[in-house]
Amino acid sequence: MIFEAVASGGCRSYLIGCEETCAAALIDPELSQIDRYVALAARDGLRIRYLIDTHTHADHFSATQQLARQLDVPVVMHRSSPAPFVDLRLQGGELLVVGRLRLQAMHTPGHTRDSMCLRVDECVFTGDTLLIGGTGRTDLPSGDAGALYESLFDGVLRLDPALKIFPAHEYKGRSHSTIGQELAENLRLQTRDRSAFMEMMQNLNLTMPTHVTEALRTNMSGGKTVAQMLSEAAATVPFVSLVELKACLESGKNELVVLDVRERDAYEAGHIPGAQLLPRGQLELRVNDELTDPTRRILAYCEFGRVSTLAAATLRQMGFQSAVALDGGMKAWREAGYAVKAGKES
């Protein structure tokens, strides 16, 4: 078996392939690593046939949907997954055929209702059900401490103790463990009584994952992350540097309509001299009255450069093909020591 592990912070994803047929599966891919997965598959001569999420992730953004469009391959999850973009839904015991490899699904609810583990050869990909030295938490949506107890003690932990486990998260740099090692050393697994285990899991008092609401929203619905929207907008918009804008304003040639897309209070507290106020939230409704010449070159800016990127992309979609965004935003303009004007007048 060809095996590649990819770390992204504490997240772990795995590219596994059949050496004989070059067919491969990608398990728990993370959105920021898309180019890396594609490059690894190409380097190893693999063709990815399946994109698998072991559960609905709450702490990172899944890359399965975007990779499915890019590679034209199916997304695989357990049949309990709420995600509408899943193409192939597995039940416990069912197999995925990847060349000569056989990936067997085990339904292991507890961390989430749709959690599953995947066994292939001498490995078990445990998602967030069983971690090295820990287990998945059960205090997130659809988590169930009693179900996790059963998934562990009546399921995963009854497998061959020599099997290697590869979890979806690992924060201490360890590559893998074994079922036997976890039974012996994992402190959470030393609580064998079901009621005591449930009480322990319900009182871990863990902090919420970063971006938990956005991660659940996008992973459950197939919607876009804010970062995706910004990336897509940035791909369609040219940017102007602070130095270039300063030189343009000082030239007095009036080549640019400088558009401040922040809210009024931010504008009045300090804006680029000559800038016209048109808040992003009113852009589509007021653009025909405020920007009467669609051939003019329009530069949008905001505080940090993100909202203005979306605004410039919207202007281009509406026909203002010369719309650009300021690289860095008002914060960078101030920090550069350039002129700032306060008040209602441009």
Q: Residue 210, exposed/middle/buried by CB under 10 A (0-12, 13-18, 19+)? A: exposed
DSSP at 241 = -
The pLDDT value given to residue 219:
87
Residue 145 has pLDDT above 90, yes or no: yes
Q: How far apart are CA 309 and CA 329, in angstroms?
A: 10
The pLDDT value given to residue 226:
86
Q: Of 53, 5, 47, 66, which Cα lies nearest the Cα of 27?
A: 53
- DSSP codes joined into one string, 152-187: HHTTGGGS-TT-EEEESB-SS----EEHHHHHHH-G
The pLDDT value given to residue 99:
96
The structure's pTM equals 0.78
Could you read off the pLDDT of 7-55 as tens digits, one per residue? 998 999 999 999 999 999 999 999 999 999 999 999 999 999 999 999 9
Containing 228, the helix (H) or strand (E) segment is helix 226-234
Q: How far apart are CA 31 and CA 8, in angstroms?
A: 10
**Residue 186's CB: how many other CB atoms inside 10 A?**
18
**Residue 216's CB: how many other CB atoms inside 10 A?**
20
Could you read off the pLDDT of 241-264 as tens digits, one per residue? 999 999 999 998 878 999 999 999
Could you read off the pLDDT of 207-218 as tens digits, one per residue? 887 788 888 889
Containing 14, the helix (H) or strand (E) segment is strand 11-17
Mean pLDDT of 91-98: 96
Asked if 257 and 311 touch (Cβ cutoff 8 Å), the reply is: no
Could you read off the pLDDT of 63-90 as tens digits, one per residue? 999 999 999 999 999 999 999 999 999 9
Q: How far apart are CA 341 and CA 112, in angstroms?
A: 53
DSSP at 271 = B
Strands 23-27 and 47-52, by their bridges, are parallel
Strand order in the sheet with 2-8: 2-8, 11-17, 23-27, 47-52, 75-78, 88-90
Could you read off the pLDDT of 182-197 as tens digits, one per residue? 999 999 999 999 999 9
Q: pLDDT category, 1, cuts 50, 70, 90?
A: very high
Beta bridge partners of 326: 240
Beta bridge partners of 276: 259
The length of the chain, given as a count of residues? 346
Mean pLDDT of 98-110: 97
